[in-house]
Amino acid sequence: MTSTAPVASGAAPEEPLLRRLMRATEVDTRMIGMVAAITLIWVGFHVYTYLQSGEGLFLTPRNLWNLTVQTSSVAVMATGMVLVIVMRHIDLSVGAIIALVSTIVGVAQVDFLPTYLGLDNPATWIISIALALAVGCTVGALQGALVAYVGIPAFIVTLGGQLFWRGAAWWVTTGATIAPLDSRFARMGGGPPSGSIGEWGSWALALFICAGIVASLYFGRRRRARYNFPLRPMWAEITVAVIGCFVTLGATAIVNAYPLPERVAERYAEAHNIPVPPGGLDIPTGYAIPVLIALAAGLVITFVARRTRFGRYVYAIGGNPEAALLAGINVRRITVMVFALMGTLAGISACIDSARLDSATNALGTLDELYVIAAAVIGGTSLSGGVGTIYGALIGALVIQSLQSGMVLLGFDSAFQQMVVGLVLVAAVGIDTSYRRGTAKG
Amino acid sequence: MDAQTKAPLIEMKDISIAFGGVKAVDRASVNLFPGEVVGLLGHNGAGKSCLIKILSGAYKRDSGQIFVNGEEAQIANPRDAKRYGIETIYQTLALADNVDAASNLYLGRELMTPWGTLDDSAMEHEARRVMGRLNPNFRRFKVPVISLSGGQRQSVAIARAIHFNARILIMDEPTAALGPAETAQVGELVKQLKADGIGIFLISHDIHDVFDLADRIAVMKNGQVVGIGPVSAMTKDEVLGMIILGKCPPGATPGPGAVTSN
Ligand SMILES: Nc1ncnc2c1ncn2[C@@H]1O[C@H](COP(=O)(O)OP(=O)(O)OP(=O)(O)O)[C@@H](O)[C@H]1O
Ligand SMILES: [Mg+2]
C-alpha cells in the first residue's frame, strides 16, 4: 500500500476492480495469498479424493471439524511464537514445555487432587488449568531471564530447555502414561459431546461475533471521522462487514452440519431424555472448545500486539533494538514478558493436547516447536524480526494441518507427510522473500 | 555575551569513555547555557557522537561528572536523560523502521486511552500537526518509516526530539539527509528554539552552518577537546586549523587536546 484511499475514492477508472477493492478495504496481499493457498489445498484434496474413491472426502463437515480441532494446539502457540520471532528470538522449547506441563497436571489430577478433593470434584479442572498456566509462565519467564539478563542467545537457552524440560517430564512420570484425566478437564480436548458447545451455543456465538465485527468497524470509522482522518469508502466498510459475517455464519453452519457420532448421540439422548427417532439421531456438534480457545488466543494476542504498550514495544524492539533502547524502553523486561507469554500459551496447549488424548505422557508435544515456528513463518513472520501478524500464524497453522490431514485421507505415510510439510515451509518462505524483494520493502 | 552570566544549563566535566584500548572521549569538558547553541566540530571519529551519547544516557561514562542547572545529575540510561529534559536527535536517527511515523514519534511515551490501550488516533492526529510544521509536504503517516526517504526519516527524528518540551536539545548531524529547503527550515527551527531559551548542542560537518547558527564552537580531536570559544572571536580558517592540526587560536580557551608547541 503506498497511499491511503481518499474520501469518496475517485480512483482512476482503468484500475482493475480487484486492486481497487483491495486498496479500499485495506486488505493486504499476503492475506489474499494465504487464503488462496488454503482454498487451493482444500479443493485440491477434495477433488483428488473424489477421483480416487468416487467421494470427495476433504470438504465435508466431519473433516473440517476435525481439521480445526487438530490445528488448535499448534495455533494457540503460534500466536505467541509470532511475538517471540518478531523480537528476533526463537523458542525451541515449547514442545518440551507441553510435556512438562501435561505430566505435572496429569499427576496432580490423578495422584494429588483426588486425595484432598475426592474424585470428580468440580474444582479439579480449575486448579489444573491454573497450575498449567503457572508452570508454563514460570518456565518461559526463566528462559526469558536467561536471554535478557545473562545474554545467552534464545536459540541456545531454548535448545537446552528442550532437552531439560522433556527430561524433567520423564522424571515426573518415570515414563508412565497418566490416565484417565478429570472429566471436566477433558472437555478442553473437544471430544464429543461435552467438548463442544452444541447447536444453539454455536449460533449464539456466531451472532455475537457478527455483532462484534460490525461494532468494531463502526467505532473505528467514528474514531477516524472525529479526527478528520481519511475514511475508507462506505461500500468498502460494508464489503468487509458482509464478508466477515458470511465467513462466521458459514463456519457455524459447517460445524453444526457435523452430527454427533451415533453412539455418542445415543448416550446423549438417553441422558437428556430425548426419544430416538426411527431414522437415527441427528444432533449437531457445534464449535469444539479447543477451537474456541485457539480463536480466543488469536483475538487476545492480536489485541495485545496492536493495542497495548507491550505489543508496540515488542514490534519496535524487533524493528530496531538500539532505537528501542534509546527511546527508553526496558528491552530486558519486555524480553522476559514475551517468553513468559510464550510459556503460558504452551501451558494452554498442553491442556488441550492432554485433554484430547485423555492422558499425559512425557512424549507429548514432540516436534511441536517446529510446527509452531513453521506456522508463524508460513503466516508471514520474518525471522529477521519486526514483521509478523497473528492472523497470519493462525492461517499458517491451518495450512500445515490441512496438508497433513489431506495426506492422511489419501493414505500417504507419515514420512512422506513430513517431506511435504518441509518442502512447503521452504517454498513459502522462498515465495515470500521474492515477493518482498519485488515490493522493495525490508 | 549575556548568556554567560546565567548559570549553565549543562556542565560536562572531565568526561572519559574508552572502548577496549580506544579512548573515544578523553577528559572532555563542555558546558551549555540556556538559549545558547554550541557547535561541536571535529573530523570523523573525533568522539563527538560518543560525548553526546554519554549526555543522552546511551553510553555509560568511565569517569567525569554531569551537572544540570548546577546540580550533579545521575544519567544512567536514556530515560534518566529525558527526565532532565535532554532530547536527542541521533546521527543514526534511531527509528524503529517497521512502525509508522506516529508510533516513532511517541515511542516510549505513548498516548493512552482511559482504558489503558494505545490511543493511535490521538497519536496520529498529533503527528500530523507536528510533522505539518516541520515538513508540510509529508503525507505518508500510515507506512513503516523504512519506506520513507532519508529526509523524511530525519524529519520524524527531529519531530520526536522537539515535541516533548526539551530544555536541552542534542542534534547529531540533523541536516545530513535534508535538501536545501528543509535544511533552512531546521535552521529556522534552531533559532526559534534558542529564542525559547532551549540550549542546543549542534554537531555538523558543515562549518558554514555551524558559523550561522552557533554562539560558541567546541572542536574535538582524537577524543579530546582542542578548544572552545565564541564564534565572534574566531575565523573559519582558525576553526579549520583546530579541526585538522589541533591548534587552538587566541580567541578560544584551549582544552587537553590543544597542541602547545609549534
Ligand atoms: N560502540 C562503540 N564501540 C567501540 N568503539 C566505538 C563505539 N562507538 C564509537 N567508537 C569509537 O570511538 C571513536 C569516536 O567515535 P564517534 O562516533 O564519537 O566519532 P564522531 O566524532 O561522532 O565521528 P563522525 O563525525 O564520523 O560521526 C571512534 O574511534 C569510534 O571507532
Ligand atoms: Mg558522529
Helix/strand/coil (H/E/C) assignment for every residue in A409-440: HCCCCHHHHHHHHHHHHHHHHHHHHHHHHHCC
Helices marked H in A279-413 — which ranges?
Answer: 289-307, 309-319, 321-326, 331-357, 368-378, 390-409
Say which range, A200-204, A258-262, A308-312, has the weakest mean pLDDT: A258-262
Cβ of B145 below 6 Å from ligand 1: no
The radius of gyration computed from the CA coordinates of chain B, to the nearest angstrom, equals 19
Helix pair A61-86, A289-307: axis angle to 10 deg: 30
> Which amino acid does the sequence have at B55?
L
- Counting ligand 1 atoms within 8 A of each CB, the residue from B49, B170, B204, B244 with the most, and so the one to mutate, is B49
Q: Residue B198: what are its φ and ψ, rounded to 5°?
A: -85, 140
Burial class (CB in 10 A: 0-12, 13-18, 19+), B188: exposed
Asked whether residue B71 carries a pLDDT value surpassing 60, the answer given is yes
Residue A105 Cα distances to A110, A121, A289, A351, B7, angstroms: 9, 15, 19, 8, 66
Per-residue cell: A424: 512447503
Q: Nearest C-alpha to atom 31 of ligand 1 is from which residue?
A: B45
Average the pLDDT over A8-30 and give the result. Answer: 66
According to DSSP, the residues that pair with A199 across neighbouring strands are none
List pLDDT tens digits, range B149-182.
Answer: 888 898 899 999 999 989 999 999 988 888 888 8
Ligand 1 center–CA B58 separation, angstroms: 13
Per-residue cell: A418: 513430513
Asked whether residue A81 carries a pLDDT value surpassing 70, the answer given is yes
Residue pair A404/A98 in contact by the 8 Å Cβ criterion? no
By C-alpha distance, which of A355, A352, A357 is closest to A182? A355
pLDDT at A275: 82
Find the residue in B nearest to A306 (Cα).
Answer: B118
Ligand 1 center–CA B75 separation, angstroms: 20
Contacts of B61 (CB under 8 A, 6+ apart): B15, B16, B17, B25, B54
What residue segments make up the domains of chain A, in order of their start?
Answer: 192-287
Per-residue cell: B60: 555509560
Residue A18 Cα distances to A25, A26, A27, A38, angstroms: 11, 12, 11, 19
pLDDT at A15: 67
Q: How far apart are CA A288 and CA A75, in angstroms?
A: 14
Find the residue in B nearest to A442 (Cα).
Answer: B146
Q: Residue B90: list chain A partners with CB under 8 A.
A: 326
Q: What percent of chain A has pLDDT over 70?
A: 95
Average the pLDDT over A111-129 and give the result. Answer: 88
Asked whether residue A217 carries a pLDDT value surpassing 70, the answer given is yes
Q: Residue B116: list chain A partners with CB under 8 A.
A: 308
Q: DSSP class of residue B5?
A: G
Say which residue, A20 or B209, is predicted with more confidence.
B209
Q: How far apart are CA A244 and CA A148, in angstroms?
A: 40
Q: Residue B97: list chain A partners with CB under 8 A.
A: 319-320, 386, 442
Q: How far apart are CA B181 and CA B185, in angstroms?
A: 6
Q: DSSP class of residue B39?
A: E
List pLDDT tens digits, range A291-341.
Answer: 999 999 999 999 999 999 999 999 999 999 999 999 999 999 999 999 999
Task: Determine the distance from the C-alpha atom of residue A360 to the mean position of all C-alpha atoms in its chain, rounded to a whole number.
Answer: 21
Burial class (CB in 10 A: 0-12, 13-18, 19+), A1: middle
Question: What rounded mean pLDDT belongs to chain B?
Answer: 91
Asked whether residue A10 carries a pLDDT value surpassing 50, the answer given is no
Cβ of B22 below 6 Å from ligand 1: yes
> Which amino acid does the sequence have at A228?
N
Residue A94 Cα distances to A85, A339, A346, A409, B249, angstroms: 13, 10, 6, 28, 66
Cβ of B15 below 6 Å from ligand 1: no
Average the pLDDT over A394-400 and give the result. Answer: 95
- Closest ligand by atom to B51 CA: 1
Ligand 2 center–CA A327 separation, angstroms: 18
Contacts of B120 (CB under 8 A, 6+ apart): B102, B103
pLDDT at A14: 62
* Percentage helix, strand, coil for chain A under 3-state DSSP, each rounded to 5: 70, 0, 25
> Which amino acid does the sequence have at A27?
V
Average the pLDDT over B70-95 and give the result. Answer: 93
Asked whether residue B142 carries a pLDDT value surpassing 90, the answer given is no
Cβ of B47 below 6 Å from ligand 1: yes
List pLDDT tens digits, range A369-379.
Answer: 999 999 999 99
Asked whether residue B139 carries a pLDDT value surpassing 80, the answer given is yes
Q: Residue B13: what are its φ and ψ, rounded to 5°?
A: -120, 120
Residue pair A142/A342 in contact by the 8 Å Cβ criterion? no
Query: Are B108 and A307 within 8 A, CB to CB?
Result: no
List pLDDT tens digits, range B89-116.
Answer: 998 889 999 999 999 999 999 999 999 9
Q: DSSP class of residue B12?
A: E
List pLDDT tens digits, range B217-227.
Answer: 999 999 999 99
Q: What percent of chain A has pLDDT over 90?
A: 69
Asked whether residue B35 carries a pLDDT value surpassing 90, the answer given is yes
Query: Are B78 and A386 within 8 A, CB to CB?
Result: no
Mutate to test the interface with B, among A82, A221, A320, A330 (most CBs of B within 10 A): A320
Predicted confidence band at A441 (pLDDT cuts at 50, 70, 90)? Answer: very low
Residue pair A41/A63 in contact by the 8 Å Cβ criterion? no
Q: How far apart are CA A177 and CA A99, in angstroms?
A: 11
Burial class (CB in 10 A: 0-12, 13-18, 19+), A270: exposed
Per-residue cell: A262: 451415533
Say which range, A268-277, A305-314, A421-430, B1-10, has the weakest mean pLDDT: B1-10
> Which amino acid does the sequence have at A348?
I
pLDDT at B1: 45
Q: How far apart are CA B185 and CA B131, in angstroms?
A: 12
Asked whether residue A122 carries a pLDDT value surpassing 60, the answer given is yes
According to DSSP, the residues that pair with B23 across neighbouring strands are B18
Average the pLDDT over A66-95 and give the result. Answer: 97
Per-residue cell: A331: 528491552
Average the pLDDT over B10-20 and give the result. Answer: 95
pLDDT at A28: 76
Question: What rounded mean pLDDT belongs to chain A?
Answer: 90
Residue pair A4/A233 in contact by the 8 Å Cβ criterion? no
What is this structure's pTM?
0.91
pLDDT at B5: 59
Asked whether residue A5 carries a pLDDT value surpassing 70, the answer given is no
Q: β-strand B22-32 against B10-19: which pairing, if any?
A: antiparallel
pLDDT at A7: 40
Contacts of A350 (CB under 8 A, 6+ apart): A97, A98, A99, A100, A101, A102, A105, A132, A136, A364, A365
Q: What percent of chain B has pLDDT over 70?
A: 97
